Amino acid sequence: MAAASSVSRLVVIIILINVGAKSDTTISVTASAAAGLLSSPIQLERKALLGTGWWVNNGATSGNYTSNHCKWTGISCNSAGSVTGVSLLLYENDNIKGELGRFNFSCFPNLKSFKIHSNYILSGSIPSEIAAVSMLQTLELPSNNLTDLFDNHLMGHIPPTLGRLSKLKILNLSSNSLVGSIPSTLGHLKRLRSLDLSLNELVGPIPSSLGHLTELTFFNIYSNRINGSIPLEIGNFNFLQVLDLSYNKLEGPIPSTIANLVNLTSLFLCNNSQTGFIPSTLGHLNRLTSLDLSGNNLVGPIPSSVGHLAQLTTFDMHSNRINGSIPLEIGNFNFLQVLDLSYNKLEGPIPSTIASLVNLTSLFLCNNSQTGFIPSTLGHLNRLTSLDLSGNNLVGPIPSSVGHLTQLTTFDMHSNRINGSIPLEIGNLKHVEDVYLFNNKLDGPIPPQLLNCSRLRALSLSNNLLSGSIPSEIGKLKELYYLDLSQNFINGKIPSQLGEIPSIDTVNLCTNNLYGSIPESLRKVPSLCVDGNNFEVENSPPPHHKKIATRLVAIILPMAAFLALKFGFLFVRRRRDKKVESAETGEITKCADEFAIWNYDGRITFQDMIEATEDFHIKYCIGTGGYGSVYRARLPSGKVVALKKLHRSETEELASLESFRNEARLLSQIRHRNIVKLYGFCLHRKCMFLIYEYMEMGSLFCVLRTDEEAIGVDWAKRVNIVKGMAHALSYLHHHCTPPIVHRDISSNNILLNSELEAFVADFGVARLLNFDSSNRTLLAGTYGYIAPELAYTMVVTEKCDVYSFGVVALEVLMGNHPGEILSSSSSSLDKNIKLIDLLDPRLSPPVDQKIRQDIILVSTVAFSCLRSQPKSRPTMQLVSNEFIARNKAPMQKPFHEISILELRNQEMYLVD
Ligand SMILES: *[C@@H]1O[C@H](CO)[C@@H](O)[C@H](O)[C@H]1NC(C)=O
Ligand SMILES: *[C@@H]1O[C@H](CO)[C@@H](O)[C@H](O)[C@H]1NC(C)=O
Ligand SMILES: *[C@@H]1O[C@H](CO)[C@@H](O)[C@H](O)[C@H]1NC(C)=O
Ligand SMILES: *[C@@H]1O[C@H](CO)[C@@H](O)[C@H](O)[C@H]1NC(C)=O
Ligand SMILES: *[C@@H]1O[C@H](CO)[C@@H](O)[C@H](O)[C@H]1NC(C)=O
Ligand SMILES: *[C@@H]1O[C@H](CO)[C@@H](O)[C@H](O)[C@H]1NC(C)=O
Ligand SMILES: *[C@@H]1O[C@H](CO)[C@@H](O)[C@H](O)[C@H]1NC(C)=O
Ligand SMILES: CC(=O)N[C@H]1CO[C@H](CO)[C@@H](O)[C@@H]1O
């Protein structure tokens, strides 16, 4: 992109109007001449011009057709009246017959310059007769439609005869749809200074014969499909100032002869497949102002010789495989404005010499392996508007000097190991719009100064160790639409001002220590998550049930949950199970070995995904969790899918790509009507994502937390949801080989379709039970749903899912997380709590006898699943069968009198 814009800035299109027609010595034209009776060469030229029909409308402004043609728009002549220049800008409304073939080049022996610019009106091919115009110096036919699919001879190709125009200095065929290859005869154009073939569909190599074009100052083949390697002869372009080979398919190393191009000011090789090292001779090009090698496969270090490129304003090497550390010499780039080294393998600390780049406006070092502290000298870069250090291994605090970066609009340091507290000086960033500090180890409170950043639109501090409360002044952030404070230790109450921010769209406060009630104002926020806090259970049960037991859980579990979410994306160990490979069914489309699709009736390409989400723009984000964010993507076919993009820090923790791929494929074979379908995955070096079936109603959690939606889920539907979950889990535990433990069953991971049917989703931490292993693992799951034994044994069994299922089942009945009801130590109170008191008060109590029996069954099952001894819990198979068979005798007691204690004491399901 940088390439395209710089190129267009370099050149000004000049449309000559009547240049050269100043002389009045031109022949006078008679009516008979206009009729074509005279046949002097001049009259033939005139006739040929009339024959094109291109000057019909121009006549209105430039006189009549019997007038001197040298005065027509865009025509210039020599003193003898012979045409030397044609420069036209054709408009669609000119009613022009826009075929290039209408211009008979053979009639214009003195033509030096021929320029036609149009908005793709001029069509046809470049006639090979053009070779007859031996005087031609300038040929500009950009942005036309020089391709004619009706003829397959030389149509749409660059005719090799062009090579005979030995006087040609400027050749611009940019932005046509030219196909075929660059004719090697162009190497005969020894006078050529400017060659622009950009934005066509040319294939094949750069002919080495072009090395003869020793007078070239401008060479641009940007955006074609040119392949092969860059010829060594490129080093012959002694005068070259601009070299743009970007967006092609060039391979091989950058030739070291490039060092001869001492006059070069712009070098664009981005988006090719170049390999090898960055030649250290690049340091000879000391007039370079723009250097863009991004989007290749370059390896090795950045040579320190680049320090000689003291004129650079842009230095872009993103998306390669460059390693080593950033050379200290980078501090020599006094004029640098853009430094982009993101998506490489750079290690070591950010050099403090970076502080010399006082003109820098954009600094992108994201997605590398940089270590060490964030240099406090960063504060010198006070022209910075974008700062992205995300996805590295940076440690230590955010230096308070960042407060000097008052022009910043984007401040991104997410996914590092940054600790300490958020500096108060962040409040000086008056222009900042996006602040991303998630996935770090930041502690302390959210500084109230942050609320001085009045332009803030997106703030993510998720997955840190932040405490303190949410400042009520948050209402001052009038532009805020995205707020993610999830997975911290934030306490206090949610200020109601938060919900009153006009643009607010997403609020994620999940997994904190918030309490009190959820303010009414927040309920209208389209995407809201408040799960995993200590909110009062509304209306029922009464507040005196908040008990010490929950407090205990509240102390042990946040730490465990934090660890779990940190290490959550722990897939099974590498599986070399051949069966898995061969059992693979359906169609698999691979894109560069990185993209696979199956289970899906259409084709999805990686590009579709990128386009559908505008490269994972936050506006398509529908949720964020510990190991990824979920996006909604509408495919070209109109079908909507959900994409879960893994955070980079998580993808790094995978044992290997191979085990991830095997795992994803294994999960793809799960076919159950209550399990969300995985359509595919992508392992791109820039991002990893999973593609799922999209569920219209979103998560069970969100449906239950929104009054209007919760009311729509009546008792029959709720019972159905619990049954669906039971069947899905029974299938995973008892019909998959090896059995699969989900490990993260929570209302967040149960999705609902438009029919309000339940689908188990999110196998991010799912684990296969290998009989030969101890199944010991780091804790995973969601606070509030994790089986108590996991906090101390760390042994994964199916019974962990059974417990979580019990929690969700109760939640479905209650409309809210069951809280302390979960704790068996509160059972002395159970006698006084009736089942009817637990039921979601937003629905009227069930009257239908069958529904009542179903509710009794669901709650009995749920309590049996919540037993603290794993072996006392039923298996999911038993539960699933129970829901199908219903072979227990109905409870005889009146529905209103059934107490929690009685439900807990049911002896059912004790044996497997
Ligand atoms: C060629 O024409 C295009 C389109 O008008 C223009 O953008 C470009 O700058 C021209 N190239 C040169 C080298 O003049
Ligand atoms: C056209 O030009 C000729 C010669 O210059 C002139 O005699 C004639 O009157 C013009 N006709 C019109 C309609 O302007
Ligand atoms: C072009 O002009 C030449 C010379 O006058 C003539 O011989 C030839 O037929 C013309 N071509 C067309 C396609 O009109
Ligand atoms: C280009 O020319 C072809 C054939 O002459 C025509 O079908 C097509 O519509 C033209 N394209 C544009 C953009 O005008
Ligand atoms: C370049 O592309 C053409 C057409 O796609 C292909 O035939 C040719 O083999 C390629 N050359 C190289 C060197 O890759
Ligand atoms: C660089 O360009 C200048 C003119 O701008 C020219 O005099 C000089 O010879 C060129 N350098 C080389 C090595 O050709
Ligand atoms: C920053 O850029 C300006 C021109 O935009 C230049 O005058 C100034 O010298 C540059 N700063 C340094 C330290 O080179
Ligand atoms: C290697 C690389 O990044 N290639 C990209 C070049 O640009 C085209 C079009 O934008 C992409 O499709 C390629 O992926």
Instruction: Give yes or no for residue 145 CB within 6 A of ligand 4.
Output: yes
Ligand 3 centroid, distance to 58 Cα (angstroms): 24
- Residue 34 is predicted with a pLDDT of 41
- The ligand with the least distance to the CA atom of 149 is 4
User: Could you give the 3-state DSSP secondary structure of residue 491?
Assistant: strand
Atom number, ligand 8, closest to the C-alpha of residue 273: 1
Query: Please, which residues have CB within 8 angstroms of residue 543's CB and are 6 or more apart in sequence?
Result: 536
Instruction: Give yes or no for residue 185 CB within 6 A of ligand 3.
Output: no
**Given 531, 744, 830, 854, which residue is catalytic?**
744
- The ligand with the least distance to the CA atom of 33 is 2
Rounded CA separation 624/631 (Å): 9
Query: Please, which residues have CB within 8 angstroms of residue 728's CB and are 6 or more apart in sequence?
Result: 672, 674, 675, 758, 759, 760
Indicate if the pLDDT at residue 659 is higher than 50. no
Ranked by mean pLDDT, the top range of 127-136, 488-497, 774-783 is: 488-497
Instruction: Give yes or no for residue 517 CB within 6 A of ligand 1.
Output: no
- Residue 110 is predicted with a pLDDT of 94
Rounded CA separation 418/435 (Å): 14
Ligand 6 centroid, distance to 678 Cα (angstroms): 60
Instruction: Give yes or no for residue 172 CB within 6 A of ligand 1.
Output: yes
Instruction: Give yes or no for residue 142 CB within 6 A of ligand 1.
Output: yes
- H helix intervals, 53-134: 59-62
- Residue 781 is predicted with a pLDDT of 60
- The DSSP code for 876 is H
Instruction: Give yes or no for residue 238 CB within 6 A of ligand 6.
Output: yes
Percent of the chain with pLDDT over 70: 76
- The DSSP code for 140 is E
Contact 336, 357 (CB under 8 A): yes
Contact 768, 743 (CB under 8 A): no
Indicate if the pLDDT at residue 123 is higher than 90. no
Q: Residue 641 — pLDDT band, cuts 50, 70, 90?
A: confident
Q: 249-263, 365-379, 520-534, 882-896: which has the minimum mean pLDDT?
A: 882-896
The model scores a pTM over 0.75: no
Nearest in space to 702 (alpha carbons), one of 510, 494, 458, 840: 510
Ligand 6 centroid, distance to 263 Cα (angstroms): 6
Query: Please, which residues have CB within 8 angstroms of residue 234's CB and are 6 or more apart in sequence?
Result: 206, 211, 243, 255, 257, 258, 261
Q: Whose CA is nearest to atom 9 of ligand 8?
A: 247
- Residue 770 is predicted with a pLDDT of 39
**Tens of pLDDT along 63-103?**
455 668 888 888 999 999 999 999 988 776 656 667 888 88
- The ligand with the least distance to the CA atom of 229 is 5
Ligand 3 centroid, distance to 555 Cα (angstroms): 93
- Residue 826 is predicted with a pLDDT of 52
Told to judge if 412 belongs to the known catalytic residues of this protein, a careful annotator would answer: no
- Residue 786 is predicted with a pLDDT of 82
Atom number, ligand 4, closest to the C-alpha of residue 121: 14
> Can you name the residues that pair with 441 across neighbouring β-strands?
419
Instruction: Give yes or no for residue 271 CB within 6 A of ligand 8.
Output: yes
- Residue 788 is predicted with a pLDDT of 79
**Tens of pLDDT along 712-745?**
999 999 999 999 999 999 988 988 877 888 888 8
- The ligand with the least distance to the CA atom of 294 is 8
Is residue 167 classed exposed, middle or buried when 0-12, 13-18 and 19+ CB atoms within 10 A define those classes? middle
Contact 560, 554 (CB under 8 A): no
Instruction: Give yes or no for residue 120 CB within 6 A of ligand 7.
Output: no
Rounded CA separation 67/876 (Å): 95
Ligand 5 centroid, distance to 204 Cα (angstroms): 6
Question: What's the CA angle centered on 902, arms 899 and 908, to 5 degrees?
Answer: 140
Instruction: Give yes or no for residue 679 CB within 6 A of ligand 8.
Output: no
Ligand 4 centroid, distance to 159 Cα (angstroms): 20
